[in-house]
Amino acid sequence: MVPTLRHGDALLVTSLGRVGPGAVAVVRFDGLEGLYVKRLSHQVDDGWWALGDNPHASSDSRDYGPARVVGRVLLRWWPKPIRVRSSGTHGSERS
């Protein structure tokens, strides 16, 4: 998720509320262990198409298929609190 987020950033995440295109979310990919932080592109039959912010150095739905959303990122808590900007047209919601 560079440049939006970097390895080691601590995030404040909520499992409540809606997500939409452009939201930064914590997701799971079927067949993979672990959680991943990706930007949601669009909803598909089996979940969300989730992409990294750096298309040249990211493993995401292009490699693993649809993702299941675990939570929405509200802000980066550490090293310095910032709101994580969402792109897209899903209202003016920031995530």
pLDDT at 88 over 70: no
To the question of domain 10-79 being in CATH 2.10.109.10, the answer is yes
pLDDT for 90 equals 44
Could you tell me which residue, 20 or 91, shows the higher pLDDT?
Answer: 20
- Rg (C-alpha) for the chain, rounded Å, is 12
| Nearest-angstrom CA–CA distance, 86 and 20 | 9
Residue 94 gets which letter from DSSP? -
- Helix runs in 1-95, H state only: 61-64
Q: Which pLDDT does position 52 carry in this prediction?
A: 94
Convert the pLDDT of each residue in 30-67 to its tens digit: 999 999 999 999 999 999 999 999 888 889 999 999 99
pTM: 0.79
Secondary-structure percent of the chain, ordered helix, strand, coil, rounded to 5: 5, 40, 55
Domain coordinates of the chain in residue numbers? 10-79
Higher pLDDT, 80 or 35: 35
Q: Which residues of 38-59 are buried (b: 16+ CB within 10 A; e: fewer)?
A: bbbbeeeeebbbbbbbeeeebe
